[in-house]
Amino acid sequence: MFNTSVSRSFTFEASHQLTWHTGKCAKLHGHSYRLEVTVASPLKPDGVVIDFGDIKATVTKHVLTEYDHAHLNDFLPNPTAELVAADIAERLLGAGLQVSAVTVHETAACSATVHVRDT
């Protein structure tokens, strides 16, 4: 049987600083982040994995309310794109969303993806 996935994209604005970085990322700066959340499971009898509105509600409540227009260093000690994606995945899993991947795009050309393994 197929395992099907659906994804929904979101945007948020945030600043961060990587003080250990030897380049320009050591300076306080911000990004217009794009977040992609992927949920995977066998199709339900109605032919869907999950309603896109349910993904939106969960991401809005458990991620965007804290992340949007925030300084990420205030709640993540080392807010790299990789660790931001991992934190978001943990929040969504904790909220009961069957996340299979979370991708955080810092720019149009740079992103980090966390793949959630089955346990």
106 is catalytic: yes
Burial class (CB in 10 A: 0-12, 13-18, 19+), 76: middle
Q: Which of 21, 29, 69, 115 is catalytic?
A: 69
Q: Which of 25, 66, 71, 82 is catalytic?
A: 25
The H or E element containing residue 38 is strand 29-41
25 is catalytic: yes
User: Which residue shows structure tokens 């197929």?
Assistant: 2
Q: For residues 58 and 13, what is the distance between their CA atoms, to the nearest angstrom?
A: 18
Q: For residues 87 and 51, what is the distance between their CA atoms, to the nearest angstrom?
A: 23
Q: Which of 31, 62, 105, 106 is catalytic?
A: 106
Kindly list the catalytic residues: 25, 69, 106
